[in-house]
Amino acid sequence: MNHFLNFKLKIWRQKNNKEKGFFKTYKIQNVSPDSSFLEMLDILNNQIICNKKDTPISFDHDCREGICGMCSLYINGRAHGPEYLTTTCQLHMRSFRNGITIYIEPWRAFSFPIIKDLIVDRSSFDRIMISGGFISVNTFGKTIDGNIIPIPKNQSEKAFDASSCIGCGACVAVCKNRSAMLFVSAKVSQFSFLPQGIVERKKRVLNMVNRMEKEGFGSCTNTKSCEVECPKGISTEYISILNKEYINSFI
């Protein structure tokens, strides 16, 4: 039999990025320990709507399966909450002690302006991705099956690991310089290890790094806080690979 949980929630409310935000206190009771964090927010919003004394809390979500990167919340001072290798939608309320106060706020970064409440604009990541362009290898018609192209196992595994980045922005949120180096390095590396990405290799890394700087992200701090809080466990090893790719692009 499940023992239901009660919490005091201090949630960041902000109408838009022009107005000043503030923490507002809510109480929620009889929450199932098996509820996800986002389900708990759904329950709270239902209560708010029924009471008609406040507006529902705006927060981002999509797949709720840990692969879209939308559920970007700072929970009690941790990106995505207290569990490692976990997105907010994968976080369950049994991870919190009954009766505690939970602080919930959006990412804090110049390059991620707040849209409303807990939602931030992460379109800067999209613009970085667009600047990298596409691979020009012909993928239409009589193409060779990718599985028959010989690729060393260690390279294919690194490309796969890098491609697991979901672009949630936790790396930016936890970095004291608000650096996007882990994100950019993962997106550069996922192509640089595969033959399909070789054609635009030098152009890609230059364009993406230049766009990252234009978007206002800071430089790498080398503190590895991004690696610790990344829900997909992306290693800072990819930052060193990015630096190597960037230097080689001038040769």
Instruction: Give the predicted TM-score (pTM) of the model.
Output: 0.92
Low-confidence ranges of the chain (pLDDT < 50): 1
221 close to 175: Cβ distance less than 8 angstroms: yes
pLDDT on residue 7? 98
Which residues lie closer than 8 Å to 55 by C-beta, 6 or more apart? 48
Q: What is the structure's pLDDT at 245?
A: 96
- What is the reported pLDDT for 133? 87
- Interhelix angle 201-214/237-248, nearest 10 degrees: 110
pLDDT tens column, 45-93: 999 999 988 999 999 999 999 999 999 999 999 999 999 999 999 999 9
User: Domain 122-248 maps to which CATH number in 1.10.1060.10, 2.40.110.20, 3.40.1390.30, 3.10.450.50?
Assistant: 1.10.1060.10
pLDDT at 18: 92
Predicted local confidence at residue 75, as pLDDT: 98
Residues 92-104 as b or e (16 or more Cβ within 10 Å = b): bbeebeeeeebeb
Residue 146, pLDDT score: 63
pLDDT of residue 195: 85
Task: Decide which of 1.10.357.10, 2.60.120.260, 3.10.20.30, 3.30.930.10 is the CATH code for 5-115.
Answer: 3.10.20.30
Q: Which ranges in the chain are annotated with CATH 3.10.20.30?
A: 5-115
